[in-house]
């Protein structure tokens, strides 16, 4: 049985009661249109987070979308989502209205500097302010023991870890592995926007990341910029012309690197048709 809560007061009361009974509570924040990758975060909360009770949140947060982005057309399908949550024995769906999260007079923004200056922070101005603010609110509203975020949004995970640490939010932030569909495309609620032929084109993204990863793991002296330049050409020849970024960075600090001597990560955001897709992959040089 999945119970639906809409208000901060109900959420706070429920989590508080569970914790008073000695139960460990995990939160899994999402924007809905739930799929198997979201459910892998629920499993992660149970196995790695040792959670006894799970709260999944669904909130399509207006403040993290830019003016020309897909806020209005973002898929909203609560009934289907509830069915999936029931199947996975999720205890609570917390799905507040926009007016509950941002009542009239709301005036505070959480802004993380440094980590947000590159990648999605550069290509989606203001995006991470919206994310940090809403996630801070969700964590403080529920005060779960832990909260789980996917490495699909690797930079977002780093930003949330930073803000939770800086603001002394007493919630363990757990990262869960990126999940792919059977054909290799990173699972995403936005994949429903892709036509069949766009999806075929999009498959070049994970294939190119895999090629970059293999090249750098086998030849750690290669210059990242050369590998990236070649990969850009491959993507363009395959029909992906609008590359917002394709970048190799330190896996920990997200700083730019010249060669891969420590664990690194390759990041991409690119548009296929009208759909913006992101993906990333670990690069672990043999010497580490
Ligand atoms: P979203 O609903 O897309 O905002 O995602 C909600 C949470 O699910 C975020 O922590 C995402 O990183 C995570 N997530 C979404 N897609 C994936 C995926 N393919 N693999 C791992 N985590 C994911």
Q: Is the CB of 43 under 6 A from ligand 1?
A: no
Mutate to test the pocket of ligand 1, among 30, 45, 88 (most ligand atoms within 8 A of CB): 30
Q: Is the CB of 42 under 6 A from ligand 1?
A: no
Enumerate domains of the chain plus CATH numbers.
3-176 (3.40.50.620), 189-281 (3.30.1300.10)
Cα(60)–Cα(118) distance, integer angstroms? 23
Chain centre distance of CA 223: 28
Cα(257)–Cα(134) distance, integer angstroms? 31
Q: Is the CB of 41 under 6 A from ligand 1?
A: yes
Ligand 1 atom closest to residue 177's alpha carbon, by position in its atom list: 21
Ligand 1 atom closest to residue 33's alpha carbon, by position in its atom list: 2
Distance 222 CA to ligand 1 centre (A): 32
Catalytic residues: 38
Distance 204 CA to ligand 1 centre (A): 21
Checking if the pLDDT of 55 tops 70, the result is yes
Q: Is the CB of 149 under 6 A from ligand 1?
A: yes
pLDDT tens by residue, 155-199: 999 999 999 999 999 999 999 999 999 999 999 999 999 999 999
Which ranges constitute the DSSP H helices of the chain? 8-20, 36-47, 78-87, 98-101, 119-123, 127-142, 154-166, 196-202, 204-218, 224-237
Checking if the pLDDT of 288 tops 70, the result is no
Q: Is the CB of 135 under 6 A from ligand 1?
A: no
Sign of CA dihedral 77, 79, 84, 89: positive
Mean pLDDT of 104-128: 97
Q: How confident is the model at residue 208 (pLDDT cuts 50, 70, 90)?
A: very high
Q: What is the pLDDT of residue 250?
A: 97
Checking if the pLDDT of 287 tops 80, the result is no
What are the φ/ψ torsions at residue 19 (nearest 5 degrees)?
-65, -35
pLDDT tens by residue, 221-263: 999 999 999 999 999 999 999 999 999 999 999 999 999 999 9
pLDDT tens by residue, 174-184: 999 999 999 99
pLDDT tens by residue, 11-35: 999 999 999 999 999 999 999 999 9
Cα(7)–Cα(60) distance, integer angstroms? 15
* 3-state SS assignment for residue 147: strand
**Atom 16 (ligand 1) nearest CA:** 188
Q: Is the CB of 189 under 6 A from ligand 1?
A: yes
Checking if the pLDDT of 270 tops 90, the result is yes
């Amino acid at each position: 049985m999945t119970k639906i809560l809409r208000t901060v007061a109900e959420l706070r009361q429920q989590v508080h009661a569970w914790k008073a009974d000695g139960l460990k509570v995990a939160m899994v924040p999402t924007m809905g249109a739930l799929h198997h990758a979201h459910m892998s975060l629920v499993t992660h909360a149970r196995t790695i987070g040792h959670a006894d009770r799970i709260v999944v949140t669904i909130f399509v947060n207006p403040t993290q979308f830019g003016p020309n982005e897909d806020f209005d057309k973002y898929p909203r399908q609560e009934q289907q989502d509830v069915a999936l949550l029931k199947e996975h024995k999720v205890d609570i769906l917390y799905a507040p209205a926009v007016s509950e999260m941002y009542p009239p007079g709301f005036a505070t923004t959480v802004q993380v500097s440094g980590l947000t200056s590159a990648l999605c922070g550069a290509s989606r101005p203001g995006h991470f302010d919206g994310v940090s603010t809403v996630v801070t609110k969700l964590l403080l509203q529920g005060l779960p023991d832990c909260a789980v975020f996917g490495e699909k949004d690797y930079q977002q995970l780093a930003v949330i870890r930073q803000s939770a640490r800086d603001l002394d939010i007493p919630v363990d932030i757990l990262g869960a592995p990126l999940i792919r569909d059977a054909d290799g495309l990173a699972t995403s609620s936005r994949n429903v926007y892709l036509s069949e032929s766009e999806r075929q084109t999009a498959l070049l993204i994970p294939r190119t990341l895999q090629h970059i990863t293999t090249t750098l793991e086998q030849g750690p002296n290669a210059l990242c910029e050369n590998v990236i330049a070649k990969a850009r050409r491959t993507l363009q020849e395959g029909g992906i012309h609008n590359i917002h970024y394709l970048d190799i960075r330190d896996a920990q600090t997200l700083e730019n690197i010249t060669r891969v001597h420590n664990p690194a990560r390759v990041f991409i955001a690119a548009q296929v048709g009208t759909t913006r897709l992101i993906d990333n992959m670990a690069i672990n040089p043999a010497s580490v």
